Structure formats: C-alpha cells, structure tokens
Amino acid sequence: MGEKKKTTVALVTLGCKVNQFESASFRSDFEARGLSVVEMGRETADLYVINTCAVTGKAAAESRRLIRRARRANPAARIVVTGCYAQVSSEEILEMDGQSGGRGDIGETFGGAIHLVGNGDKDQLVELALDVRSGDGSGPARPVDRAQKIGDLRVRGFGSRTRAFLRVQDGCDNFCSYCIVPHARGRSRSLPRAEVLEQSGRFVEGGIREQVVTGIHVGHYGRDLNPAVSLLDLLRQLAARHPDSRYRLSSLEPTEIGPELLGCMAETENLMPHLHIPLQSGDDAILARMKRRYTGRDFAAIVERCRALLPTAAIGVDVLVGFPGEDEEAFGRTFELLERLPVTYLHVFPYSRRPGTPAATMAGQVPARLKEERVARLRELGHIKKREFHAAHLGETRRVLVEGGGAGGGEMSGFTDNYIQVFFPARPEFANRVVEVTLEKLLDKGVAGRMKG
C-alpha cells in the first residue's frame, strides 16, 4: 500500500505583526503534528485557518472574502476563523455558515463547518482545529476582555525569512475613540521575560538574523508582570544575550519615547536606529476627540529629540485621515506639521467607521471623496520625505541584512540598520548575512549600492 496522504492545512493571515507571529506558531504546531501546510489557491486544503483583521472596514471585508473563498475551494473542509474580526463580528461569520456545501471523505473527518476561535484562545487553536469531537457548529468567540494572561504560543521558524516578529505583549488599555482593537484583543498582557528570551533564542538557533520586537501596545510591556519589567530592560537583555542578532522596535506611542530609550538605541550596536511613531493627526482638537494623549507641539518635540539623539535614524509616522470633524484647516495643520518635521516615511490610512467605537456615531463624518484626496496628498508628501532621507545618506557605507534576490539574478536586496532598502550586485550565497554596502544612487523603490570587499 502507498503512503497515506498527509492532511493539508492552508493558513491565511491578515493584519498586524502579532497576527503574523501567531500564524507562524500555528504553522509550527501543525507541522509538528504531521500536517502539510499549503498555500491557499495553489492547492485544495482539508482545513483552512483564517487569521482575520478588523482594524478597518476594508480589512473586515477582506476577511469575509477569504472565508467565502475557502468555502468555495473545498465545501467539505473545516474552516477555522480567528483574529480580531472573528472576535468582534462572530455573528456575521456564523450567518455565512448557511452556505456550507456537502461532505466528502474530508467532511466526514472535519465536519465541513465554520469554527470560531477567539483571540484569547489562540494558544488552543491547533488542538481545537483538529478535534473532530468539536461538532459541526460553532458559537461566538469567547470574550477576551477578561483574559489575564497572554497566550502561550511558540514559533520554531519563520519560513524562509531572515527577519521574524518577536511578540512580547498583547492587548491595549488606551481605548482611542476610533479603535476597535481593545475590544478585539482585551487588556494589555505581557509575556514573562524568561519566555521572551527563550523564543528569541529559538529564532537565533533557527538562523533568523533580525527580530522585530512587537505587540499590540509594545510600550506597555512588563507593567502587568510581578515584579514589573520595563521594555527598556527587556531590550537591553535581548541585545546583550544575542549580540549577533539585530533587534528592531515596532510602533511606540509618542509619550513612551524618552531620552533613556534613545540613549540605549544610540549606544547599542544591534538595536536598530529605527522608530515608528503614531501621530494620527496634527490638529489638537482632533487629537482630543481621538482620545490621544499629546498635542501636535508635544509630537514635534519628541521627533526633534529623536533626530538630535539619533541623527541617522529612520522615523516612520502613522497618520489617520478624515476623522469625524476634520475640516480643511485641521487637515492643513496635520500636513504642515509633517511637512516641516524631519520624518522618514508616512503610513497614511483613511478613517474607517468601526461599529462599537465612539467615533462611529460622532457628528462630522468626512465624505469618502475628501478622505481619498487628503490621503493622496499625504502619501505624496511621504514619498518626498522618503526620497529626501535616502538622498541624505548617499555615499555612506552601512550594514545591510541581505534578504533575497532581485529580478536580474545577480542582484540582492536588503535593509540597512536605518531601514533603507538597498539593491546591489551579490551572489545568492550572501543571503541572510550582514554585509557592508555603500549607498550610491537613488531608485524609485529604494537605493542602488555596492557591497564592500
């Protein structure tokens, strides 16, 4: 008799770095149990796991589209839906289950139903997905607001990547008026320091050269631990324990970036000079309506401090355009603030009305056409800012983590310590090495360079 065909699972991930870390954990666990992970669309799967996002209406719509796509691909397959959309919109997903098709042999094994796993139960997802006794139906995702501990998820590898996301925290206590995330992720919860160090060590052993320290509100790391630990303490310990591994920070709130953190980044060679700071609006009245805890002047002072203490650092900024009440003057203040500040790039998003948030019912909702126009203007400014930053570093030699090949075959690319994408002639065997590259010429997509030696 021939060898029995492996059960196949397709994993699809939308949204943030934390979701991507969690999906990498699911993959590790499925593979350890003998399943074959396949790409959705290329091969029909026995089981589909869709890790959804709900930050914007567009993300929620894409989550629904992927669920329907999985159902069409194999009507008999079990579909497991998790993530933020599953958490806050369970009933919408369960209504889709009425479209279930018939069963074949696979259906007899897995039930052909949609099953929901909430964000607070992701550490049990693989077990639940494979448990045929869990029946044909599914109820709403279990509430996450009472979760006391972060889920125990372990990742053995990050595919073929040279960079991995190191999740250290989950949840958020801020409750900004536009944001559904605290309702979808629960309160802030931190991974104990020993477990962070253990996961980081697994990445190092697996050949990962750069780790992005991430969470839903990573700046709150350690406040809920006993004894409490600061993010700065954690960064120092990670950098000292693995001096050959690069560490990069994900988004930090403006008020969490102080001189001590910047000094640590300046003096620690393997802590990358790169900050990503959400502004959202440069208008103080809009910031107050958003329930943000700073003013435009505060934000400007923080960026100037970053640039003074880390002169070559990349400084990325999130901007939310078209929040209720944003008139042309308020948008103009945002544009003018960003135009004069020494920032590197912009992530610009149109405001998306999310049911269950205070902003969804506020007066002064901005028409879609106006939001699109303002988004376009800020994205063009972001393009200009990025080119100016790249141009300022031409002629420098910087350390680059080589990540992969370009279209030409003899070209490789990677990111400098300060997050400039560089393309340069190199052989494939240089992949996943840190090399010195001189930045020589501006390109539309980054910078052309030449490797030293």
Which CATH topology does 8-134 take?
Answer: Rossmann fold (3.40.50)
pLDDT score, position 113: 75
pLDDT of residue 118 exceeding 70, the answer is yes
Q: What percent of the chain has pLDDT over 70?
A: 92
Pairwise CA distance, residues 386 & 383, whole Å: 5
Residue-averaged pLDDT of the chain: 91
Per-residue pLDDT tens for 206-248?
999 999 999 999 999 999 999 999 999 999 999 999 999 999 9
- DSSP code per residue over 268-324: -TTB-SEEEEEEE-S-HHHHHHHT-S--HHHHHHHHHHHHHHSTT-EEEEEEEE--T
For the segment 282-286, the average pLDDT, to the nearest whole number, is 98
CB atoms within 10 A of CB 214: 21
Comma-separated ranges of CATH 3.40.50.12160 domains in the chain: 8-134
Pairwise CA distance, residues 57 & 371, whole Å: 14
Comma-separated ranges of CATH 3.30.750.210 domains in the chain: 146-250
DSSP 143: P
Comma-separated ranges of CATH 3.30.750.200 domains in the chain: 272-392
Which of the following CATH numbers is that of domain 146-250: 3.40.190.150, 2.60.40.10, 3.30.750.210, 3.40.50.970? 3.30.750.210
pLDDT score, position 1: 44
- Max intra-chain CA distance, the chain: 75
pLDDT-derived band at 107, boundaries 50, 70, 90: very low
Three-state DSSP class for 394? coil
Comma-separated ranges of CATH 2.40.50 domains in the chain: 397-451
Greater model confidence, 398 or 404: 398
**Identity at 236, one-letter amino acid code:** R
CATH class of 272-392: alpha beta
Pairwise CA distance, residues 213 & 119, whole Å: 20
- CB distance 317 to 342 below 8 Å: no
Query: What are the helix (H) ranges across 186-258?
Result: 193-205, 231-241
Pairwise CA distance, residues 357 & 362, whole Å: 10
For the segment 395-411, the average pLDDT, to the nearest whole number, is 84
CATH class of 397-451: mainly beta
Residues 6+ apart with CB under 8 A from 194: none
Per-residue pLDDT tens for 368-399?
999 999 999 999 999 999 999 999 999 999 99
Pairwise CA distance, residues 238 & 229, whole Å: 13
pLDDT of residue 453 exceeding 80, the answer is no
pLDDT score, position 158: 79
CA 105, 111, 115, 121 dihedral sign is negative
Q: How far is CA 80 from the centre of its chain?
A: 21
pLDDT of residue 151 exceeding 60, the answer is yes
pLDDT of residue 442 exceeding 60, the answer is yes
Per-residue pLDDT tens for 53-99?
999 889 999 999 999 999 899 998 999 999 999 999 998 888 876 53
For residue 261, which of 245, 277, 280 has the smallest C-alpha distance?
A: 277
pLDDT-derived band at 153, boundaries 50, 70, 90: very high
Q: In what order do the strands lie in the sheet with 345-350?
A: 274-280, 314-321, 345-350
- CB distance 403 to 210 below 8 Å: no
Three-state DSSP class for 188? coil
Pairwise CA distance, residues 26 & 344, whole Å: 35
pTM: 0.91
pLDDT of residue 106 exceeding 90, the answer is no
The Cα-based distances of 405 to 158, 398, 429, 431, 441 in angstroms read: 18, 19, 10, 8, 19
**Partners of 164 in the β-ladder:** 211
